[in-house]
Chain A
Amino acid sequence: MAVNKTKANLRRRRMREFLDQVKANKMALTGTIVLAFFVLTAIIGPFFFPFDVMEFGNVEDILQPPGPGHILGTDDMGRDVLGYLIAGSRVSLLVGALATLLCMVIGTIIGIVAGYSGKAVDNILMRITDFFLVIPWLPLMMVLAAILGTSIWNIILVIGVTSWAGTARVVRAQTLSVRERQFVERTVSIGAGSGHIMLYHILPNVFPLVFASTILVAAAAITSETTLSFLGMGDPAHASWGMMLHYAFETGATSTGAWWYFLPPGICVVAVVLAFTLMGYAFDEILNPKLKER
């Protein structure tokens, strides 16, 4: 139908305008490209460099420096470091993504409900949020991981359940301001219930903020997973960059100077976190044009 075509056309035009803005912003662009690179390698890499964390390599090959056959050398079990790295990217990125998703869902729901409901509900939810904000993150995660166990799902759960407080705060602040706008009043006047308003009116107007916040949370989630794995709470069945670093440290790669084992995973983590951070700040600028004027 003609109307639907207009709708599609308008959509396309708006998406193009948004992408143009992204392109213009160098920070966002760099971040996106770097991330795309890592995601791509994570998806297709393992086909070219297969790696199984449960397998052992050859005893003679332990901790060999980069050379023919192994571009990045071998690890403490004689396995190819590059393969390990690529396999690790899958796990690190996936865990990061899922933990971020969990964190954002919890944080957004709590933020909106607290901001819109006000009074007692708001108070209680905010006390809980403050509680999670104050408690130091690493000890909390360590304690939870110690109790729950070190499976990969537990790690995702632990990170998600402890990192939502910042998002909740930010979402709540935005909800408070959106709540006062006249179109919300209008929706109340046609008889809409709280649920309808929170879902169809508050959420869409809070979303840009949520999006920018998500990116920064993702950076933190990846750092958290890496740190937790390094400290021994990772899942041995799933190789991640953090696990690589854990084994590198445990087997003395640092003191023996086997830099090829722990430098690459670290660099990857830094690259991904940096990419997310750049994107986060850049999107903040795009979605909040006031910042550019300064």
Chain B
Amino acid sequence: MDKKRIAKKLVYAFITIFFVLLFNFFLFRVLPGDIVSMLSRGGKATPEMLANIRKMYGLDLPWYQQFFVYLKNLSAGDLGVSFMYKKPVLDVIGARILPTVVLLGVAEIFAILIGIVFGIVSAWKRGKALDTGLLSTSLLLYSMPTFWLGMMLILIFCVYLKVLPISGMVTPGRLFVDQWAQLQDILRHMILPMICLTLGMIGEYAITMRSTVIDVLSEDYITTAKAKGFSDGYVLRRHAMPNAMLPMITLIAINLGMIVGGAIQVETVFSWPGLGSLMYNALVNRDYPLLQGVFLLSTVAVVFANFLSDILYEMVDPRVRSMGG
């Protein structure tokens, strides 16, 4: 039974990805103006490139055949050639994946942990000063555009306090004694963007966790547990938490799209050399192949991550387990 559900979800994930490909394809081919004229308008492509593109993408063919050409190219790893970098898109993207993954990964983990703690404490001390304080902070952080938060952090830490570097991943032009010193430099550059991204994500997690825990705490089985004389901490840990975690998993899945958005903003503001700032540069320079490539990659990654968290949810939800799936 379990396998059937997983298979079904996998199928849905693939269907979604297929539609993303279709969407991607249509966006740049069928919308007003064919790609060649768009490119020649931009003035970034040479005549040889234009001829090449025509041949490569089979632009004289009817659209459904074009789509297959597109898919064929895709499966070979050919995402086109970037106008800006004059290199295959895949290569350009490859070089920038790591910084983004590191930034996203660490920030997301911190955001989830802090958000959960804020949420629980807030719910537990509902109505008291601590709750009001935490809730207000969370609401404030939630309402702030992430990039603006970044600008403020730069103002405080880089301009006024002068403790951290403004942008980039490494200090340009510096030579390092050894690996360790270089790593330190990178970490110094990473602190602010990471704090920015984390703070930007905390708000939603904290608020949702708070609502969920409040809901759970108002259920009868909590009152029963308390009546049995269990300590507050025990009730929280053994009874409230496990049930509150389920909606959190769903939220984390839903938020994966948001964190991509956050990453784009943070990387742009701090010039962190990852996929987010790459997408920004591609956009500003109308580098369509690169733009398409990054869009495709981020979308597929999010769809896949959603699928994984869906599976995780199925495995964790005891109601689903006990029913045999």
Instruction: Verify if B112 is at the interface (C-beta below 8 Å from A).
Output: no
Q: Taking the nearest CB of chain A, how far is it from the CB of B119, in angstroms?
A: 15
Given A130-B16, A277-B139, residue A138 in contact with residue B268 (CB < 8 A): no
A233 to B159, CA, bound (A): 28
Q: Which residues of B contact A274 (CB under 8 A)?
A: 139-140, 143
Instruction: Verify if A24 is at the interface (C-beta below 8 Å from B).
Output: no
Q: Taking the nearest CB of chain A, how far is it from the CB of B154, in angstroms?
A: 5
Residue contact A233 to B143, C-beta cutoff 8 Å = no
Binds B, one of A15-23, A73-81, A222-230: A222-230
Q: Which residues of A contact B256 (CB under 8 A)?
A: 136
Q: Taking the nearest CB of chain A, how far is it from the CB of B45, in angstroms?
A: 16
Of the candidates B139, B140, B265, the one whose C-beta lies within 8 Å of that of A227 is B265
5 closest A-B pairs (Cβ-Cβ)?
A138-B261, A136-B257, A136-B260, A266-B148, A273-B143
Q: A interface, how many residues as a size bin?
A: 35 or more
Residue contact A269 to B148, C-beta cutoff 8 Å = yes
Residue contact B140 to A139, C-beta cutoff 8 Å = no
Instruction: Verify if A254 is at the interface (C-beta below 8 Å from B).
Output: yes
Q: B28, B143, B294 — which one has the most chain A CB atoms within 10 A of its CB?
A: B143
Residue contact A139 to B148, C-beta cutoff 8 Å = no
Given A134-B16, A146-B288, A270-B143, residue A139 in contact with residue B155 (CB < 8 A): no
B residues contacting A by CB (< 8 A) are 15-16, 19-20, 27-28, 31, 139-140, 142-148, 151-152, 154-155, 158-160, 166, 214-215, 218, 254, 256-258, 260-261, 264-265, 268-269, 279-280, 283-284, 286, 288, 291-292, 294-295, 298-299, 302-303, 306
Of the candidates A130, A134, A232, the one whose C-beta lies within 8 Å of that of B257 is A134
Q: Which residues of B contact A140 (CB under 8 A)?
A: 295, 299
A135 to B306, CA, bound (A): 10
Instruction: Verify if A199 is at the interface (C-beta below 8 Å from B).
Output: no
Query: What's the dominant secondary structure at chain B's contact region?
Result: helix
Q: Which residues of B contact A127 (CB under 8 A)?
A: 15
Interface residues of A in 243-294 (CB under 8 A from B): 245, 248-249, 254-257, 259, 262-263, 266, 269-270, 273-274, 277-278, 294
Of the candidates B15, B146, B283, the one whose C-beta lies within 8 Å of that of A232 is B283
Instruction: Verify if A71 is at the interface (C-beta below 8 Å from B).
Output: no
Given A134-B303, A294-B218, residue A139 in contact with residue B294 (CB < 8 A): yes
A233 to B279, CA, bound (A): 13
A140 to B260, CA, bound (A): 11
Interface residues as binary, A127-145 with B (CB distance below 8 Å gives 1, 0 otherwise): 1001101111111101111
Residue contact B265 to A136, C-beta cutoff 8 Å = no
Q: Which residues of B contact A256 (CB under 8 A)?
A: 159
Q: Taking the nearest CB of chain B, how far is it from the CB of A155, in angstroms?
A: 14
12 contacts between A and B (CB under 8 A): A134-B299, A136-B257, A136-B302, A139-B264, A140-B295, A142-B279, A142-B291, A147-B27, A147-B31, A226-B148, A270-B140, A274-B140
Q: Taking the nearest CB of chain B, how far is it from the CB of A255, in angstroms?
A: 6
Residue contact A223 to B218, C-beta cutoff 8 Å = no
Instruction: Verify if A231 is at the interface (C-beta below 8 Å from B).
Output: yes
Residue contact B298 to A139, C-beta cutoff 8 Å = yes
Q: Taking the nearest CB of chain B, how far is it from the CB of A95, in angstroms?
A: 15
Residue contact B283 to A219, C-beta cutoff 8 Å = no
A269 to B28, CA, bound (A): 33
Residue contact B20 to A135, C-beta cutoff 8 Å = yes
Residue contact A146 to B261, C-beta cutoff 8 Å = no
Q: Which residues of B contact A277 (CB under 8 A)?
A: 139, 142-143
Query: Smallest CB-CB separation from A242: which chain B residue?
Result: B145
Q: B28, B152, B218, B269 — which one has the most chain A CB atoms within 10 A of its CB?
A: B152
Q: Which residues of B contact A142 (CB under 8 A)?
A: 264, 279, 283, 291, 295
Query: What's the dominant secondary structure at chain A's contact region?
Result: helix
Residue contact A143 to B27, C-beta cutoff 8 Å = yes
A192 to B269, CA, bound (A): 57
Q: Which residues of B contact A232 (CB under 8 A)?
A: 280, 283-284
A249 to B166, CA, bound (A): 13
A273 to B218, CA, bound (A): 30
Interface residues as binary, A205-224 with B (CB distance below 8 Å gives 1, 0 otherwise): 00000000000000100010
Given A139-B295, A143-B27, A245-B148, residue A257 in contact with residue B264 (CB < 8 A): no
Given A137-B261, A227-B265, A273-B143, residue A131 in contact with residue B16 (CB < 8 A): yes
Q: Which residues of B contact A278 (CB under 8 A)?
A: 139
Q: Which residues of A contact B288 (CB under 8 A)?
A: 146
Q: Which residues of A contact B28 (CB under 8 A)?
A: 147
Residue contact B148 to A135, C-beta cutoff 8 Å = no
Residue contact A266 to B140, C-beta cutoff 8 Å = no
A147 to B24, CA, bound (A): 12
Of the candidates A144, A227, A248, A270, the one whose C-beta lies within 8 Å of that of B261 is A227
Residue contact A270 to B144, C-beta cutoff 8 Å = yes
Residue contact B159 to A257, C-beta cutoff 8 Å = yes
Q: Which residues of A contact B145 (CB under 8 A)?
A: 223, 226-227, 230, 245, 266, 269-270
Residue contact B299 to A135, C-beta cutoff 8 Å = yes
Residue contact B148 to A136, C-beta cutoff 8 Å = no
Given A146-B291, A263-B152, residue A139 in contact with residue B279 (CB < 8 A): yes
A217 to B258, CA, bound (A): 15
Q: Which residues of B contact A134 (CB under 8 A)?
A: 16, 257, 299, 302-303, 306
A138 to B276, CA, bound (A): 10
